[in-house]
Amino acid sequence: MTATLPATTRVVTAPARPSRLAVRAAQLVAGAVVLAALVHLRIGWSDLAALPGALGHYLVLMFAHPNWAKLPYALQQTWVSVQMAWVGALLGVVVSTILGIPAAQGVSPLWVRLPLRGLFAVLRAVPEVIIAIVILTVTGLTPFTGALALTIGGIGTHGKWTYETIEAVPTGTAEAVRAAGGTLLEVARWGLWPAAAPELMSLALYRFEINVRTSAILGLIGVGGVGDLLTGYTQYRQWDAVGVLVIVVVVVTMLIDAASGAIRRRIMGGARTRVVDRTV
Amino acid sequence: MTERLATAPGAAQAASGPWPLRLDDVTVRYPNGTVALRNVSLSVAPGEMVSVVGLSGSGKSTLIRTLNGLVPVTSGHVEVGPYAVDELRGRRLRQLRGSVGMIFQGFNLADRTSVYNNVLVGRFSHTPTWRTLLGLVGHDDRDVVMAALDSVGMLEKVWGRAGALSGGQKQRVAIARALSQEPRVMLADEPVASLDPPTAHAVMSDLRRINSERGLTVLVNLHLMDLARQYTTRMIGLRGGELVYDGPAAPADDAVFEEIYGRPIQARDTLERPS
Amino acid sequence: MTTLPVPRRPRSWPRVAAVVAVIAAITAVTVTPALGGIRVDLGAIARNWHYGAHHIAQMTHLDFSILPRTAKPLLETLEMAVVGAAVAAALALPLSLWAARPTNPGPSRRAVRAVLNVVRSVPDLVYATLLVAMVGVGVLPGVLTLVLFDLGVVVKLVSEAIDSADSSYMEAGHAAGGTQTQINRLTAAPQAWPAYASQVLYSLELNVRISAVLGLVGAGGIGRLIDEVRGFYRYGALAVIILEILVVVIAIEVASNVLRKRLR
């Protein structure tokens, strides 16, 4: 067969492209909203232009000659922040589990579920900093306040994760236990717990990871820890100390993330942590 | 060392028409030590329709992928048309690939985007990267895509989501994708293994029609005896990475296939269950 | 009656006991001041409870007079959230493709991931504090903070989604002679779209929460008003502001959930 390839293009009448009016309209609206917001914010465009230069200048100030003399103190304060995060996570997980199980569909009637879920939504919506501001009148400017704020704020998110995880458990095992005549406690222990436990423990560790970050922020209002130190150094413009602090925060956070991630992977028994759909 | 034939693509276009294929003592060893192909030599004339038959693990997938460089050869020489495939890198390799159309057992479509975009993939080697990046599709590209879809009977689905199609329809879109490359060679790696018998026949007929109407050189990997006998003129048998048969397809009887498979014929070796 | 050769039962309780012991040990260290731990001062709660009760009582007397003053800062908060999410969204798509293995099999991927891990490790208000000190008070450091935070979250999650999704369509793109950029643009990007859009919407939710407090360090939004009100012990007004933030955050969360469900 030595026939030459025939001309492939004889013009064909193709069906018309379906109208994408709805999509285009949505894109236009979104674009308009963003543009309106941008204009109304009145960001100084000269500031924006000077930004790279300013950033470069300060990055050099921070990292060219870090003040390593401050390292021990920085580490000590970071340890305080981590403690806040740990206690906050522990208490938060305990309370969230106690409150979250009844909030799951199939465990309690609606008049129990709804208020609980509402409580979680409210606690989730209030930033932890504000919670800390409110409770520091009772517990003072101490790391314990920070831990409490993390606990209360964490109940909102972790409570939601708890009841979502329980609801996602396939019902087969629970049905089997019930059919074999198990009590509610036995159904929970043998029907729900084995399936939900790995993910719940993984989420608890994730909660701790997030808390480590938030605890640094709480320090900014004075409860202690790394944030406290940061406010001080930046106010007095001690950039070389700020540099050390940032390095410490980044390194400690990354180490905790790595360790926590590895443990979570082992718990979930797979190569990838399945927390892809969940975010801060 | 004999002289290599790597001539400029311009020369290839001047001599329009389907390309020959050639493997010269090709061995492929994977990094984990498996030898997938062992001293395989074969030669396919332009416009031939050839099937490569063998069990899974016989080296069919590796062999077909040496022809467009998706699998590098450990030793030996691969020639497709004017290109010495084993020596190509970067832009030249992409040029060669642009002239070799390929369809796969798993269809390899992007399910979330339109049939149109999937077929447009075939125009990659004809389009500069910046145009693809900006989403600028020329009129001639669009015409080629529509014509390719029309020739496989899928034109009415052009704007639909690729994921919404059935298996047979997806494979047809894949064929259109390959055709829109305006290729000189068509490679098919187990194109019907995931399809039911009527659809499998339809797709094989399409391939045969492409071979007869457009005169393209076609190489098809199959593991079913009756399809090889019915749709191809020449057959190559692989067993354990070695070439064990190279001859006409139609007269190949069960004994030949037992030799290729290395075991007695079973029911699953034919598409239609023997009645 | 012959006895059956029952296999030995694997013992799981040693491992559980070890885990519990570790958790208990860490907790003990963290709450014992003598070991450098924080002071769990339940006594303070007992002692100061009446302060708290007083303030909470004040908070229940909602002081709506603050409402007109909250309009502009609240709008500013929302605008910052929107602009931050938009800028981050624009940057996140190419960065996500750059950070995932199927779409970037080359060596630059590791560098991108490393930089992103560092960016993710800095808490949002730390960025805000630093940026305010660098460029001055205003909304610019706030928007920049949001962009940095969003990129950290979105790019990680979207690139992980791309990594774990089926990418067999890539082989077809390579076989057709396409460059990695062409393949990414025409096939990989649409495949990543649901994960991307979902995470962008989520980043908008997060932004509203964060931008509400950015003002506490001077980075714009309603935070400055919160600080002022707190300073004057106007707990009734503080309660009103918190309620406003609640309403907005929950409204955005509901809207975002609806949109994200439709994307699936």
Q: What confidence tens digit (pLDDT) does each residue in A43-82 have?
A: 877 888 888 888 899 999 999 888 899 899 999 999 999 9
Assess whether B88 and B126 both reside in one domain. Answer: no
Residue C45 in this model has a pLDDT that exceeds 90? no
Q: Do A34 and C83 touch (CB under 8 A)?
A: yes
Domain count, chain B: 2
Percent of chain A surpassing pLDDT 70:
92
Chains that touch C (3 or more CB pairs under 8 A): A, B
Locate tokens 């208000």: which residue?
A: C125
Closest C-alpha among A253, A245, A247, A250 to residue A210: A253
CATH of the domain at B247: 3.40.50.300
| Chain B residues lying within 8 Å of C168, measured CB to CB | 104, 106, 108
- Determine the distance in angstroms separating the CA of A270 from the nearest CA of chain B, rounded to an integer: 24
Average pLDDT over residues C54-67: 83
Predicted confidence band at A277 (pLDDT cuts at 50, 70, 90)?
A: very low
C-beta separation of B46 from B19 below 8 A: yes
Assess whether B251 and B124 both reside in one domain. Answer: no
Q: Which are the contacts of A237, defined by CB distance < 8 A and separation ≥ 6?
A: C133
Q: Do B111 and C174 touch (CB under 8 A)?
A: no
Domain boundaries, chain C: 15-59, 63-263
| Chain C residues lying within 8 Å of A82, measured CB to CB | 30
Predicted confidence band at C264 (pLDDT cuts at 50, 70, 90)?
A: low
**Within a domain: residue B24?**
yes
CATH class of this structure's domain A67-268:
mainly alpha
Predicted confidence band at A174 (pLDDT cuts at 50, 70, 90)?
A: confident
Closest C-alpha among A266, A206, A15, A117 to residue B142: A15
For B143, name the nearest residue in chain A, comparing CA atoms only: A11
Predicted confidence band at C36 (pLDDT cuts at 50, 70, 90)?
A: low
Q: Do A54 and C202 touch (CB under 8 A)?
A: no
Predicted confidence band at A273 (pLDDT cuts at 50, 70, 90)?
A: very low
Interface of C with B (CB under 8 A): 168-179, 181-183, 185-188, 190-191, 193-194
B24 has which bridge partners? B77
**Gap between the Cα atoms of B112 and C158, Å rounded:** 16
C-alpha R_g of chain B: 19
Assess whether B3 and B65 both reside in one domain. Answer: yes
Which of A165-174, B171-180, C72-81 is predicted with the least confidence, judged by mean pLDDT?
A: A165-174
Domain boundaries, chain A: 21-61, 67-268
Residue B241: predicted pLDDT:
92
SS (H, E, C) B131-186: HHHHCCCCHHHHHHHHHHHHHCCCHHHCCCEHHHCCHHHHHHHHHHHHHCCCCCEE
- Determine the distance in angstroms separating the CA of A99 from the nearest CA of chain B, rounded to an integer: 40
Interface of B with C (CB under 8 A): 68, 70, 93-102, 104, 106, 108-113, 117-118, 120-122, 124-125, 127, 129, 132-133, 135, 174, 177-178, 181
**Gap between the Cα atoms of B265 and B256, Å rounded:** 10
Average pLDDT of chain B, as a whole number = 90
**Gap between the Cα atoms of C205 and A127, Å rounded:** 12
Q: Do B106 and C193 touch (CB under 8 A)?
A: no
Give the tokens for residue B81.
């048309």
Assess whether B167 and B198 both reside in one domain. Answer: no
**Gap between the Cα atoms of B98 and C172, Å rounded:** 11
Q: Which of B155, B212, B213 sits opposite A14 (nearest CB)?
A: B155
Average pLDDT of chain C, as a whole number = 89
Q: Do C52 and A79 touch (CB under 8 A)?
A: no
- Determine the distance in angstroms separating the CA of C2 from the nearest CA of chain A, rounded to an integer: 30
For C179, name the nearest residue in chain B, comparing CA atoms only: B129
Residue C61: predicted pLDDT:
83
Residue A8 in this model has a pLDDT that exceeds 80? no
For A243, name the nearest residue in chain C, comparing CA atoms only: C130
Per the model's pLDDT, the better-predicted residue between A114 and A187 turns out to be: A114
**Gap between the Cα atoms of C170 and B111, Å rounded:** 12
| Topology (CATH) of C63-263 | MetI-like fold (1.10.3720)
C-beta separation of B239 from B260 below 8 A: yes
Q: Do C169 and B108 touch (CB under 8 A)?
A: yes
Average pLDDT over residues C28-32: 80
**Within a domain: residue B159?**
yes
Predicted confidence band at A213 (pLDDT cuts at 50, 70, 90)?
A: very high
The answer to whether B215 contacts chain A (CB < 8 Å) is yes
Q: Residue B157 is part of which domain span?
A: 107-182
Average pLDDT over residues A72-93: 92
Predicted confidence band at A11 (pLDDT cuts at 50, 70, 90)?
A: low
SS (H, E, C) A147-193: HHHHHHHHHHHHHHHHHHHHHHCCCHHHHHHHHCCCCHHHHHHHHHH
Closest C-alpha among B241, A129, A184 to residue C226: A129
Locate tokens 């740990």: which residue?
A: A86
**Residue ranges with strand state E in chain C:** none
Q: Do B181 and C178 touch (CB under 8 A)?
A: no
Q: Which of A5, A10, A17 sits opposite B147 (nearest CB)?
A: A10
Residue C118: predicted pLDDT:
94
Residue C75's CB is within 10 A of a number of other CB atoms, namely 15
* Type of residue numbered A17: R
**Within a domain: residue B248?**
yes
Average pLDDT of chain A, as a whole number = 84
- At B218 the three-state DSSP class reads strand
B96: left (phi over 0), alpha (psi -120 to 50) or beta: alpha
Predicted confidence band at C225 (pLDDT cuts at 50, 70, 90)?
A: very high
The model's pTM: 0.86
**Within a domain: residue B275?**
no
Cα dihedral angle (A162, A163, A164, A166), rounded to 10 degrees? Answer: 90
Assess whether B120 and B249 both reside in one domain. Answer: no
Q: Which of B109, B110, B125 sits opposite C177 (nearest CB)?
A: B125
Tens digits of residue pLDDT in B147-187: 999 999 999 999 999 999 999 999 999 999 999 999 999 99
- At A103 the three-state DSSP class reads coil
Locate tokens 């669009």: which residue?
A: B142
Residue A274 in this model has a pLDDT that exceeds 60? no
Residue C186: predicted pLDDT:
95
The answer to whether B209 contacts chain A (CB < 8 Å) is no
Average pLDDT over residues C148-165: 94
For C168, name the nearest residue in chain B, comparing CA atoms only: B108
Assess whether B129 and B193 both reside in one domain. Answer: no
Give the tokens for residue C110.
């590791």
C-beta separation of C118 from A254 below 8 A: yes
Tens digits of residue pLDDT in A226-243: 988 999 999 899 999 999
Q: Which of A220, A226, A275 to mutate to test the interface with C (most CBs of C within 10 A)?
A: A220
The answer to whether C263 contacts chain A (CB < 8 Å) is no
Assess whether B91 and B24 both reside in one domain. Answer: yes
- Give me the residues of C, 12-71, that contact A with CB < 8 A: 23, 26-27, 29-31, 36-41, 44-45, 48-49, 51-52, 55, 59
Assess whether B95 and B193 both reside in one domain. Answer: yes
- At B217 the three-state DSSP class reads strand
**Gap between the Cα atoms of C230 and A177, Å rounded:** 54
Assess whether B162 and B39 both reside in one domain. Answer: no
Closest C-alpha among B256, B183, B186, B244 to residue B39: B244
Q: Do C187 and B110 touch (CB under 8 A)?
A: yes
Residues of chain B with pLDDT under 70: 1-15, 273-275
